[in-house]
Homo-oligomer: A and B are copies of this chain.
Amino acid sequence: MSVTHAAGFAAAGVVAGLKSTGKPDVALVRNLGPSTAAAVVFTSNRAKANPILWSQQVITDGIVEAIVLNSGGANCYTGAFGFQTTHATAEAVGAGLGISAGDVLVCSTGLIGVGGQDFRDKLLAGVASAIPALGVGGGHDAALAIMTTDSKPKEAVVEGAGWSIGGMAKGAGMLAPGLATMLVVLTTDAKLDPGDLDSALRHATRVTFDRLDSDGCMSTNDQVSLLASGASGVTPSLEVFTAAVTALCADLAAQLQADAEGASHNISIETINAASEDEAVEVGRSVARNNLFKAAVFGNDPNWGRVLAAIGTTSAQFDPYDVDVTMNGVRVCRSGEPDEPSDAVDLTPRATHVLIDLKVGTATATILTNDLTHDYVHENSAYSS
């Protein structure tokens, strides 16, 4: 049910012909209120798609009535025409729902450079058919319509005391920090103001989506939106609500990792005893971005030397000759020397755990990534053809 699980939301997912496969490609989510508070986190890529430029303006007042999303084209690097298309899309939603276009978030995903006349025509026709299709049971349809190379929709729900949060996500490649490539819509019937929603969402994305680094590539279109209808009439404490949003985002992030393009391993890189959380993240990310290590995991090869070579490139505090590395429970390196035999490491399970003990401080962080596989190369060499 995802985005229509919480009270006060309707959604739809329709076929607009943007995808050559004929599958659903336009989603619409409407906040029925009584509240229309919202918060959004955007990609940190300086090359921002037109929907990002638009949505950044929409969220300035913390009010969102609806969000419209399409797959089948990123509308990025499409010039003034592309921005006008985004604007026209929000106008069409606004006119159809009797709300201000300035309260309509827009998200697009697909190939960069796609956003011409044909894209505009199909997208606007999709909006026209999505509006009458809106329903309180439409969450799953919406989740289907935002899929790109995803093999399955991603949905999750967290229940509070008298309130709940639901969410949907798409993302399969170009997963990287700030954010992973993803479109995420979270909806809650809790009653919170935009400032609290923003605080909760920023904390949640920082420790979940921002630590999912599947392939080191950062998207131009990432957007995570949190809409609150207030329909439950309940205002949870910010602490409780933040924990719930974080749990929901962690669930969706794990689903994104599990469905990353071509991956055969879900790798968790846990760095412990770092001087700071930032340094733990830096160390984990250096390993998550090391193609040699990721190819080795694909081959079920516990090549821990590549872990050490990767963390040697960071500026984190540690003694390179006093580091322990444990893979799937086997400590293969102790204080910079070979320890248990690598042969004892079983990398055949999809879940792979790498534990790096820096022996410096008390901070920890876990980065989620995937292996580098033949299928990853195949999918990404054939994506636009």
Contact = CB atoms under 8 A, between A and B. Distances in A.
A217 interface: yes
B298 A381 contact: yes
A296 B46 contact: no
A320 B50 CA distance: 12
A47 B311 contact: yes
Interface residues of A, number: 61
A76 B305 contact: yes
A21 interface: no
Contact of A295 (B290, B295, B321, B380): B380
A305 B336 contact: no
Q: What's the number of copies of this chain in the assembled complex? A: 2
A115 to B, nearest CB: 9
A218 interface: yes
Interface stretch (A156-164, A227-235, A270-278, A368-376): A368-376
B377 A308 contact: no
Contacts of A328: none
Interface string A57-98: 000000000000000001011110000000000000000000
Given A377-B372, A378-B374, A220 B383 contact: no
A335 B298 CA distance: 40
Interface in A266-302: 289-292, 295-296, 298-299, 301
Contacts of A77: 305, 308, 321, 333, 336-338
Contacts of A116: 338
A298 B377 contact: yes
A385 B289 contact: no
Contacts of A309: 45, 47, 112, 174, 217-220
Interface in A326-384: 333, 335-338, 342, 372-374, 376-378, 380-384
Given A309-B219, A313-B46, A301 B112 contact: no
Given A46-B320, A113-B304, A308-B220, A78 B295 contact: no
